[in-house]
Amino acid sequence: MLLTFGLFISSCSKEDSSPIASGYPKNVTIVYKVISTSVASASITYKNETAGMTTLADVTLPFTKSFVRTVNKNDDASLGFSLNQAGPIKLEILVDGSSVKTQDFNTGTGAMVYLFQ
């Protein structure tokens, strides 16, 4: 009985770590949105299509960036901003058309991260 239990546990752990079981790696469409009702522009930083970081200075708001990226489990999508003054600003990350992370800020800087599970 102990041997059967050990084989069961072993087979379960192998199944959970396989790419087929977890669905990774996979291609996803990531959309970043930066919106404000009173701020005209911001510096924006985001994780791009190659998983590197892109920083854009003095971007006119609202801002939207969309691309396809291959992700693995525990990869992330990140979006941040900085302003010369404080003001209301909203960040949103969409994955395959669904909003997965949204946050409102009233400060001069902010960032958020979505982790692929």
Instruction: List strand residue ranges (DSSP E) for 1-117, in order.
Output: 26-35, 41-47, 53-60, 63-71, 76-82, 89-95, 98-105, 109-115
Q: What is the CA radius of gyration of the chain?
A: 19
- pLDDT tens for 61-84 read 999 999 999 999 999 999 999 998
Looking up tokens 């911001």 gives: 42
Torsions phi, psi of 16, nearest 5?
Answer: -65, -30
Domain ranges in the chain are: 23-115
Out of 1.10.8, 2.60.40, 3.30.160, 3.90.550, select the CATH number for domain 23-115: 2.60.40
**Cα angle, residue 66 at apex, residues 35 and 42 outer, rounded to 5°:** 35
- pLDDT tens for 25-72 read 999 999 999 999 999 999 999 999 999 999 999 999 999 999 999 999
